[in-house]
Homo-oligomer: A and B are copies of this chain.
Amino acid sequence: MSEASEFAAGATAYFQDLQRRICAAFESFEPQARFSARSWSKPAGHRLQGGGESRLMRGAVFEKVGVNVSHVWGVLSPEARAQLTGADASEGRFTACGISLVAHMVNPYVPAVHMNLRYLCTSRAWFGGGTDLTPTFPFAEDTADFHAALRAACEAYRPGAYAEFKAWCDRYFYLPHRQEPRGVGGIFFDDVSGGDRDRDFAFVRSVGETLLQVYPRIVARRKDSPYDEAAREQLFVKRGRYVEFNLVYDRGTRFGFSTDADPEAYLMSLPPVVKW
């Protein structure tokens, strides 16, 4: 096992543990619903090797939430290669592992949340990811809480990182055709490779731990807010923007389309009910 493969296996073990803890935290809000898990792996001889576990819950608080972990490696198709840094120099060989999470909530006053953390290795190795909040009805308290927690994680990693990753998030999660941001932001980073991989990975883990602390707090604060059908309708329309962003602009989703990955995995971010 190469050193890079060994590192990816270790990172995957962390992502699996994080997945387990996040799912347990989310289930604790649900009177009945529980995550269902689906493991998948690529058959031997396939261009892509590896697999993952997708966990999905449709509940009374979490209308649809997916938490997926995957660890794949192999040789990318020429089309997919062009989209991944360093994959030309590696002749398409790559290793990738990560966790991704999207939660769409029943109560229109609870913001949707997204998180993605990943490790990638082609001819280079780096981390990417981020987390951001998409409320239909933004509350300054939730936005401030979320951003303060992320600021702490970023500044512990490197002074100035929060401002940089927050601005990157604002640029990235933007719908140019509607001239609107997707939500109230958070952080987004890519190509994080500061020269000290353990330190970089500690930062990535701290983002995961931050999400696990701060988001359940926001859910607890808003989940019992009274709402009417008009507010749900606004939620459904807001989710349409989410779909537009993910299918038109999101790099992870569009990368999924250029591979033969399972569409149910990279499309798990799509909301349960949407209106246009």
Contact = CB atoms under 8 A, between A and B. Distances in A.
Nearest to A239: B274
A275 B273 contact: yes
Contact of A243 (B64, B247, B263): B247
Interface in A237-264: 240, 243-244, 247-248, 254, 256-257, 263
A270 interface: yes
Nearest to A256: B177
Given A247-B243, A247-B247, A248-B247, A177 B274 contact: no
A218 interface: no
A244 B247 contact: yes
A227 interface: no
A248 B244 contact: no
A272 interface: yes
Q: How many copies does the complex hold?
A: 2
Nearest to A273: B275
Contacts of A270: 240, 276
A267 interface: yes
A178 interface: yes
Contact of A273 (B178, B254, B274): B274
Nearest to A236: B273
B275 A272 contact: yes
Nearest to A178: B263
A244 B273 contact: no
A274 B271 CA distance: 9
Contacts of A247: 243-244, 247-248
B263 A267 contact: no
A105 to B, nearest CB: 15
Contacts of A244: 247, 267
A260 to B, nearest CB: 8
B276 A267 contact: yes
A236 B64 CA distance: 16
Contacts of A274: 243, 273-276
A240 B256 CA distance: 17
B263 A257 contact: no
Contacts of A64: 276
B263 A271 contact: no
Interface string A196-216: 000000000000000000000
Nearest to A244: B247
A257 B272 CA distance: 24
16 contacts: A177-B257, A243-B243, A243-B247, A243-B274, A244-B267, A247-B247, A248-B254, A248-B257, A267-B276, A270-B276, A271-B276, A272-B275, A272-B276, A273-B273, A273-B274, A274-B274
